[in-house]
Amino acid sequence: MWNPMLPTLTNEVPEGDNWVYEVKYDGFRTSLEWKEEGVRFISRNGKDLTEHFPEVISFLEHYQDQVREFLPLSLDGEMVILKTNLCADFSLLQQRGRMKNMDKIKQHAQTFPAQFLCFDALQIGRNLQTRTFEKRKEEIKDLFSSLGWPLHISLLKPISLIPFYDDYQPLWKQLELAYGEGIVAKQKHQSYQQGKRVKHWLKIKNWRKVTGFITEFDPENDYFTTSIYNQNKLETLGVVKHGFSEESFNTLTKLIIEKGEKKKGIFHIPPAICIQINCLQAEEGQLREPNFDQFRFDLSPEECTLKKRDLDLTMLPENVEITSPDKPLWPQPNFLKQDHLIYLRKMAPYMLPFLKSKKLTLIRYPHGVEDESFFQKHRPDYAPDFVGAYKESGETFILCQTLESLIWIGNQGTIEFHIPFQKINESFPDEIVFDLDPPSRKEFSLAIQAAQILKMICDQLELYAFVKTSGNKGLQIHIPLPANGLTYDETRAFTEAAAQLLVQQYPEKFTIERLKKNRGNRLYVDYVQHAEGKTIIAPYSPRSTKEGTIATPLFWEEVHEDLNPTQFTITSVPSRVSKFGCPMRYYDEVRQEQNFTKLKQLINT
DNA sequence: TTGAGCT
DNA sequence: AGCTCAATTCTGCGC
DNA sequence: GCGCAG
Ligand SMILES: [Mn+2]
Ligand SMILES: [Mn+2]
């Protein structure tokens, strides 16, 4: 039976020509076993997981015939539920793993599809265990290519190959941005040693660093309980046991036994000793994979608060200076500048892809949304080097390509991020956007109705379409385009035709009247907004509304009469995305899948 | 929010 | 040193 | 070409 080779934990990243690097995903270590009789998934301790992942199995079973010549297969990998292509959601997967009811499993598979990410192979027809890692990877590539499976991480496909990289730095940067679990460094020329924890596989974790003070010590199991303040009340941060050097463990326990008070075998001491802990997550008095990092004599217990914990978990980039964190930017809900920057940091993995390689139009409110604002398109000379630049006919425009630049731009008092429809150095649009503008928020349901009709039109034309609130009054529909897929003339012809259809169908609800006085109380289908040189609010951009609303991507199932767009704010959107995922997560992958046959038929009639 | 230009 | 100002732009419709 | 609109 399969017995996985295991990586060794380290904090030092090994470098050199013989090392390569893979993303480490937080899921179940799983083997895909495919024999003549069929395909199965086996867990690390030999448990059969097949029943728990019907969506992956049913995909694989389509390849029954094509795979026959490669059998038997024994592929080593990780079963995951992905949030992004660099980060998996372990708690969702855990939920799935605990399910017993087949209907529940199938329903879960619908809403949160799992994927098998393959990183090694023990057998593809013949035994590969004595071959080098590099060779085994090649064999998997050949197998995947012949079956048409992705050689990179695909969010759409139930199975993918985990690629490896020669350079550690750029991968780590991306991983940090994505709040990934870590990376695994692997030596290219080593064989597969079943059941062994080996030194030629090294895992490096992307630790969050939290601080708390010690309140209890249990000599029975050597657990230290750490606490934090939540509005002057003590609250448990979590327990920690590992990571102490012998010396620090001894001095610490000696101090606690001397100064502490023993009750029922546990020593209690008042808040004084602050420590920093590495962990993967900290929530509700629990730490995931905690280990002691260092003492923090520079901190007082009063500084170890719930607010600080959440700030630490946010992992703001260290090289960006933050000014006036306590300035209210949205006075009405009392959202501070700090809240804004934390929002941008949390949403960066989802927002940055939409900003990338686009000349930005920023709207800045350095003193909050109730004060003066101004537009900015140029990159100021005083911007740090990491802020992107694009030079064009003697002008320098501002780009936002990295996390650092996003936070710096945010710290400059930028609230709104507007993007053009094409990337730099391209003259074709990379997306079509429908702008649905009701006269006011009172008529938001008109936008819902228009969006539903446009969704039907897109379905009929076999186009993938995504929907978001504008963060203000209306809705916008995004249709991703492949590079050089359609010209502006074509996209315009389409938006215009679709707008006409809407107005024809419900002339009392929708209009394309440019003059406000002629619109009445109808929704303005603003197809003119989609054109070269115009811009639209970026997905996940905050808006300068009094409520602090966000241009929020929606699931189509949410686009219903009673949807309230003001519920989506800088505080609610991050938790919504962490719970349900990003509704636009497939945006970039379906770009290539778009088929314009029917669209072209429509515009040529 | 930041820097330039002017007094 | 302190005050004031600026920080975008273009596109197209309908007449 | 102008003014409105975004
Ligand atoms: Mn709009
Ligand atoms: Mn509009």
CA of A464 to the centre of ligand 1 (A): 21
Last residue of a domain, one of A256, A286, A314: A314
pLDDT over 70, % of chain A: 100
Q: Are residues A380 and A505 in the same domain?
A: no
Write the CB contacts of A100 (distance below 8 Å, at least 6 apart in sequence): none
Write the CB contacts of A22 (distance below 8 Å, at least 6 apart in sequence): A119, A162, A163, A164, A165, A183, A184, A186
Nucleotide nearest to A383 (CA to C1'): B2
Q: Are residues A591 and A443 in the same domain?
A: yes
Span A498-524, pLDDT tens digits? 999 999 999 999 999 999 999 999 999
Q: Could you tell me the pLDDT band of residue A453, with boundaries at 50, 70 and 90?
A: very high
pLDDT over 90, % of chain A: 99
Q: What does the pLDDT read at residue A184?
A: 98
Written as six digits, the tokens of A342 are: 């934390």
CA A383 to CA A414: how far, in whole Å?
A: 14
Q: Are residues A265 and A339 in the same domain?
A: no
Q: Could you tell me the pLDDT band of residue A445, with boundaries at 50, 70 and 90?
A: very high
Q: Could you tell me the pLDDT band of residue A229, with boundaries at 50, 70 and 90?
A: very high
pLDDT higher than threshold 90 for residue A1 = no
Q: Which residue is nearest to nucleotide B3 (CA to C1')?
A: A382
Mean pLDDT value of segment A589-603: 96
Q: In residues, how long is chain A? A: 605
Q: Which of the nucleotides in strand B have any atom less than 7 Å away from a protein CB atom?
A: 1-4
Residue A523, phi then psi, degrees to nearest 5: -80, 135
Q: What does the pLDDT read at residue A426?
A: 93
* Alpha carbon distance, N-terminus to C-terminus of chain A: 63
What ipTM does this complex have?
Answer: 0.93
Span A130-162, pLDDT tens digits? 999 999 999 999 999 999 999 999 999 999 999
pLDDT higher than threshold 90 for residue A480 = yes
Q: Residues of A from 20 to 79 whose C-beta is within 7 A of strand C: which are they?
A: none
Q: Is A24 a catalytic residue?
A: yes
Q: Are residues A152 and A23 in the same domain?
A: yes
Span A154-185, pLDDT tens digits? 999 999 999 999 999 999 999 999 999 999 99
Span A553-591, pLDDT tens digits? 999 999 999 999 999 999 999 999 999 999 999 999 999
Q: What does the pLDDT read at residue A339?
A: 98
> Does residue A16 form part of some domain?
yes
Alpha-carbon distance values, A598 to A292, A426, A457, A560, A604 (Å): 60, 25, 11, 27, 10
Q: Protein A82 CA to nucleic acid D1 C1', in Å? A: 56
pLDDT higher than threshold 90 for residue A468 = yes
Q: What does the pLDDT read at residue A555?
A: 98
- A276 contacts A293 by C-beta, under 8 angstroms: yes
> Does residue A425 form part of some domain?
no
Q: Are residues A344 and A445 in the same domain?
A: no
CA A578 to CA A89: how far, in whole Å?
A: 9
Q: Are residues A200 and A105 in the same domain?
A: yes
- A196 contacts A6 by C-beta, under 8 angstroms: yes
Is strand B within 7 Å of residue A380 (CB)? yes
Mean pLDDT value of segment A372-390: 96
Q: Could you tell me the pLDDT band of residue A103, with boundaries at 50, 70 and 90?
A: very high
Written as six digits, the tokens of A36 are: 């003549």
Q: What does the pLDDT read at residue A422?
A: 95
Q: Are residues A182 and A222 in the same domain?
A: no
Residue A398, phi then psi, degrees to nearest 5: -95, 135
Lowest-pLDDT range, A116-120, A260-264, A536-540?
A260-264
CA A260 to CA A156: how far, in whole Å?
A: 55
User: A174 lies in which domain range?
Assistant: 6-205
Q: Which of the nucleotides in strand C have any atom less than 7 Å away from a protein CB atom?
A: 7-14
Q: DSSP of A439-456, one letter per residue? A: SSGGGHHHHHHHHHHHHH
Alpha helices by DSSP H, listed for A273-425, are 306-314, 337-355, 403-411
> Does residue A319 form part of some domain?
no
Last residue of a domain, one of A314, A349, A372: A314
Q: Protein A325 CA to nucleic acid B1 C1', in Å? A: 13
Mean pLDDT value of segment A418-423: 96
Span A339-369, pLDDT tens digits? 999 999 999 999 999 999 999 999 999 999 9
> Does residue A323 form part of some domain?
no
Q: Beta A233-240 vs A475-480: how paired, if at all?
A: unpaired
> Does residue A575 form part of some domain?
yes
Three-state SS sequence of A519-541 = CCCCEEECHHHCCCCCEEECCCC
Q: What is the mean pLDDT of chain A?
A: 96
Nucleotide nearest to A531 (CA to C1'): C11
pLDDT higher than threshold 90 for residue A549 = yes
Mean pLDDT value of segment A189-215: 97
Q: What does the pLDDT read at residue A605?
A: 80
> Does residue A13 form part of some domain?
yes
| Other CB atoms within 10 Å distance of the CB of residue A570 | 26
Strand order in the sheet with A19-24: A6-9, A197-205, A182-187, A19-24
Mean pLDDT value of segment A543-554: 97
Q: What does the pLDDT read at residue A68?
A: 97
Q: Are residues A509 and A583 in the same domain?
A: yes
Q: Give the closest ligand to the alpha carbon of residue A476.
A: 1
Q: What does the pLDDT read at residue A214?
A: 97
pTM: predicted TM-score of the whole model, two decimal places = 0.95
Q: Give the closest ligand to the alpha carbon of residue A499.
A: 2
Q: Give me the residue label for tokens 């429809």.
A: A421
Beta bridge partners, A518, equal: none
Q: Are residues A18 and A138 in the same domain?
A: yes
- Total domains in chain A come to 4
Q: Protein A515 CA to nucleic acid D2 C1', in Å? A: 15
Span A40-99, pLDDT tens digits? 999 999 999 999 999 999 999 999 999 999 999 999 999 999 999 999 999 999 999 999
| Other CB atoms within 10 Å distance of the CB of residue A552 | 25
Q: Are residues A174 and A293 in the same domain?
A: no
Q: Are residues A172 and A214 in the same domain?
A: no
| Other CB atoms within 10 Å distance of the CB of residue A261 | 10
CA A87 to CA A93: how far, in whole Å?
A: 13
pLDDT higher than threshold 90 for residue A393 = no
CA A6 to CA A272: how far, in whole Å?
A: 39
Is strand C within 7 Å of residue A497 (CB)? no
Q: Are residues A195 and A83 in the same domain?
A: yes
Write the CB contacts of A292 (distance below 8 Å, at least 6 apart in sequence): A240, A242, A243, A244, A248, A275, A276, A277, A278
Residue type present at position A56: V
Last residue of a domain, one of A284, A314, A344: A314
Q: What does the pLDDT read at residue A173?
A: 97
Q: Give the closest ligand to the alpha carbon of residue A551.
A: 1
